[in-house]
Structure 1
Amino acid sequence: MEGRGEASAEEEEEDAEEEEEAEGVRITPQLLQASSGELAPEAILLLRLRGRGITHLGCLGRCANLEWLDLSGNAIAQLGPLAALRSLTVLNLARNRIASLEPLGSCQNLQSLNVAGNLLSGLHQLRCLTGLRRLQSLRLREPLARPDNPLCAAPAYRHALADMFPSLKAIDGERVSGRGSELYQLCRDLDSSLARAGAGSEASQAAQPWVDAAFWEPRQPRRSSIMEEAYRQFREVLQECRDLSRRADDTIAQAEQALSARHDPNAFIF
């Protein structure tokens, strides 16, 4: 009888393990501690759980001070626990099974959101995010996230997003407002202008087989107003990049100094 009882207990345990594997990975306090090095969920500021086979967010809502979260490449469908993460600023949910973003409407500090490669079928599923005043970057498609969200099949979905979220500065990684977008537009206008000039030049040469007498004389270079403005803004953006690089170097140096002062430097996971 004892042998049968032990065998039955072992079978039940194996069945439970198989059922858990079939359901996928659930976020637990142990998983949070192992991934972040922090004993308390409230102490976690940055968390990367990419490609872990996660299907349930479990106790993730306890990370009340979490600011940066990467859950890409999992099998997540429900986002309920994320509603408690009011400090979250950067969230990557690419390549999951998400069809509803409702819980994210409570993440008032969210600035960057990546939901490429999910199951979002219409723009109405994004209306819950219109109250996020700080949202600046929204990504619905990217090269690595295949297939795309079904709504990306609409040819004018980016224009509709820009109207729905006027504060956005980037859609799918492309600047739609701010200095960067103005520079891109200037470059596009410049390309169009040069293309038209080239076409006109070819037509002129085709119509006149013999060149003018002064054809071989060097000519003074001419710059259009579009080209001048493009150069000016490009120089300004370049200077901003240099300033940003210097600030980044200072921040990294300060972070390295802070890390070296901690008892356990492995507590920070980047």
Structure 2
Amino acid sequence: MESRVTAEEDHSRLTPEMLKSRTGEFDLESILFLKLRGLGVQELGCIGECLNLERLDLSNNHIAHLAPLSSLKMMAALNVSCNRVSSLEPLASCDNLQTLNVAGNALCGVEALHCLKGLRKLESIRLRDPVYNLTNPLCANGSYRHAVLDTVPSVRVIDGERVSGSGSDLYRLCRDIDNSLKRFAAGNAVAVPGSAKPWVEAGYWELKPFQSAIIEEAHKQFSDIVQECEELSRRADDAIAQAERALSIRSDPNTYVF
């Protein structure tokens, strides 16, 4: 009973021993992917020492403060859904952040997102998840998505749905060329053989939303599983290599292993 209580207490605050045990790494800076979903975590502790961390899943915990995450400059994907977060300020320094899931927290107004404005790589943000019935107080305003776009211009996907946008420079250039060809063709009353014509069908340049939030969530979960499989495969290869080295040493009659 005592050991069980101790384990639960350890989970409430992240420690180097816990993170190394879960990943099999000997150094916190070697950890690239962490899945700490539903462990009862309350304090992030030493997670800021995982300087090369790229993907982090802290969903379904009891986390209220994200301060230790401010040092994770390499982090590209963060899931802190279903927690108690009311401020995202520490994420302002996470320059490589591309995907952020904060559904099911305590973000009360769009002003809570102002700190993300400088994150030029941030393309996807989830504030509401109807699949798991997760939301934030700021989502009570029906126009919150427009406010999000005004606050964080780099965002292209909100709550799993593609939002309208101008796209990349190449995208805009191709669209403008197509529109110019259409105007040229409309200005000629007599058809000229070999005259320029639009190269794509009407409506090709319109951005279409993702089919559903359910598909987006399934894709996200599949990506997480693939990432975990790759990590397990790497660890298995390391274990096999160590075993082979140990066996080769023992098979040498001139080598003594104590």
**SS at 2:202's partner residue?**
helix
Is residue 23–residue 55 contact of structure 1 (8 Å, CA) maintained in 2?
Answer: no
Cα deviation per residue 1:141-163 (whole Å; 9 max; x = unaligned)? 11244341000000100011112
2:38 maps to which of 34, 39, 51: 51
Q: How far apart in 1 are the matches of 2:84 and 2:52?
A: 25
Shift of 1:30: 1.6
Map of 1:111 onto structure 2: 98
**Residues 118/233 of structure 1: CA separation in 2 closer, same or farther (3 Å cut):** closer
Map of 1:229 onto structure 2: 202
Map of 2:60 onto structure 1: 73
Shift of 1:132: 0.7
Map of 1:139 onto structure 2: 126
Gaps of 5+ in 1: 1-13, 183-224, 235-247, 266-270
Q: More displaced, 135-144 or 69-78? A: 135-144
**Residues 21/156 of structure 1: CA separation in 2 closer, same or farther (3 Å cut):** same
The answer to which structure has the higher helix fraction is 1
**Residues 68/25 of structure 1: CA separation in 2 closer, same or farther (3 Å cut):** same
Map of 1:263 onto structure 2: 238
Map of 2:81 onto structure 1: 94
**SS at 2:78's partner residue?**
strand
Give matches, 1:172-191, under 5 Å. 172-176=159-163, 177=165
TM-score, normalised via structure 2 length? 0.64
Matched residue type, 1:55:
Q
TM-score, normalised via structure 1 length? 0.61
Q: How far apart in 2 are the matches of 1:261 and 1:21?
A: 28
2:19 maps to which of 32, 36, 40: 32
**Residues 52/111 of structure 1: CA separation in 2 closer, same or farther (3 Å cut):** same
Shift of 1:102: 0.7
Q: Which has the higher contact order (CA 8 A, sep 6+)?
A: 1
Larger radius of gyration: 1
Matched residue type, 1:60:
I
Q: How far apart in 2 are the matches of 1:50 and 1:119?
A: 18
How much identity, in percent, do the aligned residues show? Answer: 49
Is residue 114–residue 152 contact of structure 2 (8 Å, CA) maintained in 1?
Answer: no
The structure 1 segments of at least 4 consecutive aligned residues displaced by more than 3 Å after TM superposition are 17-24, 144-147, 230-234, 258-262
Gaps of 5+ in 2: 172-197, 208-222, 241-258
**Residues 21/149 of structure 1: CA separation in 2 closer, same or farther (3 Å cut):** same
Q: How far apart in 2 are the matches of 1:233 and 1:141?
A: 25
